[in-house]
Chains A and B, each alone.
Chain A
């Protein structure tokens, strides 16, 4: 997906390396190679590649990863602006 780059510096993904146990599960489930195994802990290697799907946080055993997942669809976001609440399905 290196051919496809979206806006940079926007993803809400954060990694607390102190809490990381180095299990590496997040590096398996991430569909964009955002995370990679360092020496004993995981590192964010491509923060701008993150699409905030939440697969890594869902599978992190120690909540070292945090992201605000959601729907990246304009119609749903407009709907949430008008009606309030979280963007739901399209």
Chain B
């Protein structure tokens, strides 16, 4: 397992695509910080009576979906970028190969997600300074931890979803499109469903589950524990499908 993980890590860092995804995340952090700064400038020049109408200037909330998407694409790349013929002659034990890939995606997702979110939250904090709510959504860094933990968890989940879809569909492009549908397509459609299906369906969409896990949504369809369970089900279904495909189909 150690050798297989070392090989997967070496494979990941010796091609260009992952660095492109990191650059995309870095650019989004910078873009998010710029938006925060512009909001704060606007806030400062607005009469005090109207400042209460401002939204939060925390950019991490906005860039989290982009991090999720990039990490999911990374997961799909880990599954599909190297031809199976070569990968399976080097590591013919398919369960071991899957375990190594899953461990790599989970580890990379945690590190990338935690660092990117910490940078975004830190930048937002610096820009917002000691301004009060609502432009600053939390009073101390301790208040942001539930959101931070939920967002990192969601990033790991989307990374593993990308891996599972890549293994199941055997195509980077198709896997990334399906990830896009899960992260943006379906969540845009579910609110249009008739009541009460709209709330029920929206409540199990990945982007919404992040807020439910963090416990920041009033009257949420799911409790934080149920929301974590829903995220785990996403992983089990996609990674399980990928595993069955890898184990049963010819290379």
A complexed with B? no
Binding site for A on B (CB under 8 A): none
Binding site for B on A (CB under 8 A): none
